[in-house]
Amino acid sequence: MTASLTLIVLMAVLFGAGIAIMLERSLTRVLIGFLLVGNAVNILIYLMSGSPGLAPILGEGVDESEISDPLPQAFVLTAIVINLGITAFMLALIYRSWWLAQLGEKGDLVDDEAELAEDAEEAADLLRSSAADDLAIQQMIDASDEEPSSRVRWSTSGEGAYRDRSRDRGDGDR
Amino acid sequence: MTGILVPLVVLLPLIGAALALILGRHRRAQMAVSTTVLIAVAAIAAVLLAIIDSTGEGVVVAVGGWAPPHGIVLVVDRLSAIMLLISALVLLGVLVYAVGQGIADQHRETPVSIFHPSYLILSAGVFNAFIAGDLFNLYVGFEILLSASYVLLTLGGTGERIRAGVTYIIVSLVSSLFFLSAIALIYGATGTANIAQLSVRLAELPEGVQLILHLLLLLAFGIKAAVFPLSFWLPDSYPTAPAPVTAVFAGLLTKVGVYAIIRTETVIFSEHDLSTLLLVVGGLTMVVGILGALTQADIKRLLSFTLVSHIGYMIFGIGLATELGLAATIYYVVHHITVQTALFLTTGLIERFGGATSINGLAGLLKASPLLAILFFIPALNLGGIPPFSGFIGKVGLFVAGAEGAPEAVGGPAWLTWAVIAAGAATSLITLYALTRFWNMAFWRGRDELEGYESVLLNSVQEWEGAAPTTTATRTTPWLMVTATTALVAVTLLLTVFAGPLFDLAGRASANLTDPETYISLVFPGGIR
């Protein structure tokens, strides 16, 4: 098995530089260090496939001994995709942590207006649906009731009470 | 038939996660999807375990029809099936608990719409790691569960969680890089990533190369399993997450690392022996972990330290490398997954009900909620190793295995094994001390013994003792949360009731493990070319 010296040197430099940067305190530098080391590992995997050959596609007149090992390439592709996802998450995390550092204690309290409204809406939805459930149960109970006049009074007063309560809760949320 | 079931274990949670993401606005539908998926996986795991245990043959699936040495294989033997079943049950229990909490809270600390998809992806990663038949697929399983765990740990994005999450994420990333480098080097040395084939080919390598590769793999898995010198990150990062997240992390994630170490020792490096190292590290993990727990006032941190400490027992069992030792380890893993999860769930209830997790802020809980006291007391005694609970059975199994193995010096010198057994016994007692101390302070102690005590509980207790027994605790404990916790505690009790059959099952699983030929002939029925 022969390996490219250039790639080995590149890998070593990436490893060294990456680890050095990862030891810094700043999160952004840690991320950059992680990216460098991650790519160094990818090159390491690629180096393990041995000497380069033809594209690993089997077909008419292709000598199997001439093609390069496809498995490490599949490994590298997978590792790149995973690194991409983690980098995206880390960037979001770094942004959030910067945000919190800028605002200090208040950072936790800052809220997205739109999200808040959405949350309140969802809570109201839940209340409404549970109120509807309760109302249905109430009506079933009332239906079994013998006196027709009391049924009407029951259901209307019940509904009114639920409305009032849901309005109160909605205000409380804000 | 059974072949179809195996990929479903990973596919169902992934499809469920996609559905849950689409249904982000409809919380009830989301809950229905994730509960159904986990129930289905638990059922599949139970069926697989029943089939595999009765026939004695594992199930192997070559994904996409590519034959084993080149394609991806999924392998389910007894150990995998046991791990699948117990983790599916625990994941289900914690999910119900989280649903109960989510319905009750409805606030930004736990954005439920993100929780369900991440939770299902975490499950998919855990299941994938348990059925992976090649090293790279194991890596992918780890990455799936880690990525989901990053999201779950920083849920809500509060300052505290971000700080804790950064430590966890960077440590995990480093361990993943170690793992990936190890895979690259192993592939370079042997030309394969298939676990069964590695078992044969790695044994043919020179001793020095084997040692380096073996240590690299153990390093990567040791960080994930939180084994002593590599466990510093765990008590700092777990306690800040929401209660259900901490519970599932504590129960399952470290055990995935332990599972990987079991596979490494029994199949991948079946010929190469690092038992002495494992014994030493196991003993140190027990002692150092539990000494850390003694100094903690916060129950979540205390439990995190006992978690680290009890990983030591499993490492000790693996280090013994005997059939009985591995059987006891498997039983202990199952016991520890359920007990640790149950304890963290109960802690969540305590936090809700008592308004604090510190030993200094809690008192009089026994009077206020006897059920909560029982729910904490049983797993606490269990973890401490009081008979007749499963913790006692597991520890006795490990000690007997150690005592039997010691004269033959299976893993290192005999005195070392005895020393680790002594450390294990001491650790068990100190665990008991630490947990009962918390119980005494939080539950037994009257609230009048607490000075300057101000919490939600105080009001409720005061009014409870008054003429009108009306509790005014602002945060009640929803019945779903209590039910889920009770169910898990009941499972820990079942581990005692069915200890005999379970230990036999663990014995059969470890008999498969001690002979790597079983695993190899399972993947390559016709023998390796």
CB within 8 Å: B187 and A47: no
Q: Which residue does chain B place closest to A39, by CA atoms?
A: B177
pLDDT at B150 (0 to 100):
92
Residues whose CB is less than 8 angstroms from the CB of residue B109 and which lie 6 or more positions away in sequence, other chains included:
B155, B156, B158, B242
Between CA B459 and CA B228 the distance in angstroms is 43
Range scoring the smallest mean pLDDT among A56-70, A77-91, B223-237: A56-70
Three-state DSSP at B73 gives: strand
Cβ count near B143 (within 10 Å): 24
A141 or A74, higher pLDDT: A74
Q: Where does chain A have alpha helices with state H?
A: 5-22, 27-47, 70-103, 113-144, 148-173
CA distance B260 to B271: 17
Q: Hey, what are A129's tokens?
A: 């649906």
B70 contacts in chain A (CB < 8 Å): 71
d(CA B464, CA B472): 9
Query: What's the pLDDT tens digit per position in A97-136?
Result: 888 887 765 555 555 555 556 666 667 776 777 777 777 7
Q: Does the CB of B437 have a partner CB in chain A at under 8 Å?
A: no
Pairwise CA distance, residues B269 & B211, whole Å = 10
**Could you say which residues from 12 to 51 on chain B have a Cβ atom under 8 Å away from some Cβ of chain A?**
25, 27
In 3-state terms chain B splits into helix, strand, coil percentages (rounded to 5) of 80, 0, 20
Residues belonging to chain A: 174
Chain B residues with beta carbon closer than 8 angstroms to that of A47:
184, 188
Q: Give the pLDDT confidence score for residue B445 in this predicted structure.
A: 76
Residue pair B184/A76 in contact by the 8 Å Cβ criterion = no
Burial class (CB in 10 A: 0-12, 13-18, 19+), B103: middle
Asked if A19 and A72 sit in the same domain, the reply is: yes
pLDDT of residue B409: 52
The pLDDT of residue A138 = 76
Quick count: other Cβ atoms within 10 Å of Cβ B22? Answer: 13
Contact B156, B108 (CB under 8 A): yes
Q: What percent of chain A has pLDDT over 70?
A: 68
- Looking at residue B202, the DSSP 8-state letter turns out to be G
- Dihedral (C-alpha) B226, B230, B236, B238: value to the nearest 10 degrees? -20
Q: What is the model's pLDDT at position B44?
A: 92
- Do A48 and A128 fall into the same domain? no
pTM confidence score: 0.84
Determine whether the interchain pair B136/A44 forms a contact, defined as Cβ–Cβ distance below 8 Å: no
**Residue A168 identity (one-letter amino acid):** D
How far from chain centre, in Å, is Cα B200?
A: 30
Task: Clarify whether residues A69 and A42 are in a common domain.
Answer: yes
DSSP state of B61: E
Q: What's the token pair of residue B38?
A: 């986990």
Pairing of strands B73-76, B59-62: antiparallel
Which amino acid makes up residue B19? L
A104 and A122 assigned to the same domain: no
Q: What is the CA radius of gyration of chain A?
A: 32
The verdict on A28 and A71 lying in the same domain is: yes
Three-class SS of residue A138? Answer: helix
Q: Are residues A73 and A158 in the same domain?
A: no
**Model pLDDT, residue B464:** 43
Domain match, A96 and A140 both = no
Please give the pLDDT value at position B39: 94
How many residues in chain B? 529
* Structure confidence by residue, pLDDT tens digits, B292-329: 888 888 888 889 999 999 999 999 988 888 888 889 99
Residue B125 and residue B144 in contact, taking contact as beta carbons nearer than 8 Å: yes
Q: Quote the pLDDT of residue A29.
A: 92
What distance in Å separates the CA atoms of residue B441 and residue B297, rounded to the nearest whole number? 10
Q: Nearest to residue B485, comparing CAs of B354, B340, B382, B360?
A: B340
Q: Between chains, do A45 and B183 touch, taking CB under 8 Å as contact? A: yes
- CB-CB contact of B316 with B286 (8 Å): yes
Examine the pLDDT at A80 and tell me if it is beyond 90.
Answer: yes
Which among B165, B174, B187 has the least Cβ separation from residue A93?
B165
The answer to whether residue B108 neighbours chain A at the CB level (below 8 Å) is yes
Q: Which of A86, A97, A122 sits opposite B166 (nearest CB)?
A: A97
Among A120, A140, A128, A136, residue whose Cα is nearest residue A165: A128
Q: What are phi and psi of B358, to 5 degrees?
A: -85, 145
* Same domain, residue pair A85 and A52: yes
Torsion angle in degrees (nearest 10) through CA of B31, B17, B238, B345: 30
HEC secondary structure over B233-300: CHHHHCCCCCHHHHHHHHHHHHHHHHHHHHHHHHHHCCCCCCHHHHHHHHHHHHHHHHHHHHCCCEHH
Supply the Cα-derived Rg of chain B in whole angstroms.
23
pLDDT score for A1: 58
ipTM of this predicted complex?
A: 0.83
The verdict on a CB contact (< 8 Å) between A89 and B181 is no
| CA-based nearest residue to B192, from B509, B512, B524 | B524
Angle at alpha carbon of residue B166, lines to B163 and B171, rounded to 5°: 140
Nearest residue to B283 via CA among B255, B254, B319: B319
Return the pLDDT at B468: 34
Side-chain half-sphere exposure of B11, counting CA atoms within 13 A: 8
Q: What is the pLDDT of residue A165?
A: 43
Whether residues B140 and A100 touch (CB distance < 8 A) is answered with no
pLDDT less than 70: residues of chain B: 1, 103-112, 406-412, 447-476, 528-529
Residues paired with B60 in a beta bridge: B75
- State the burial class of residue B490 (Cβ atoms within 10 Å of its Cβ: 0-12, 13-18, 19+): middle
Q: Do B108 and A100 touch (CB under 8 A)?
A: no
Asked if residue A56 has a cis previous peptide bond (ω within 30° of 0), the answer is no
| Residue A47 CB neighbours (<10 A) | 18
Residue holding tokens 């986990």? B38
In angstroms, what CA-CA distances link B231 with A31, B238, B289, B392, B434? 22, 12, 9, 25, 20
Largest CA distance in chain B: 82
The residue segments making up the domain with residue A45 are 5-56+65-108
Give pLDDT, residue B460: 47
What average pLDDT does range A23-45 have in this prediction? 92
Residues β-bridged to residue B75: B60
More confident: B361 or A5: A5
| Domain shared by A97 and A127, yes or no | no
Tell me the C-alpha distance between B146 and B118, whole Å.
Answer: 10
Structure tokens at B101: 């909490």
Helix axes B275-294, B414-439, angle to 10 degrees: 20
N-terminal to C-terminal alpha carbon distance within chain A: 69
Mutation site, B142, B146, B180, interface A, largest A CB count within 10 A: B180
Contact present, B304 and B235 (Cβ < 8 Å): yes
Q: What is the rounded distance in angstroms from the CA atom of residue A113 to the CA atom of residue A110?
A: 9
CA B433 to chain centre: 23
Given this model, what pLDDT does residue B89 score?
Answer: 92
Q: In this structure, are A117 and A161 located in the same domain?
A: yes
Cα dihedral across residues B28, B31, B37, B40: positive or negative: negative
Number of domains within chain A: 2
Same domain, A30 and A100: yes
Predicted local confidence at residue B271, as pLDDT: 79
Residues forming beta bridges with residue B358, ordered by sequence position = B298
Angle at B42 between CA B40 and CA B43, to 5 degrees: 65
Quote the pLDDT of residue B322.
84
First to last CA, chain B: 28
Q: Judge if A35 and A100 occupy the same domain.
A: yes
Check residue B449 and give its pLDDT.
65
pLDDT digit string, tens, across residues A151-173: 444 444 444 444 444 444 444 34
CB-nearest to A41 from B136, B154, B184 is B184
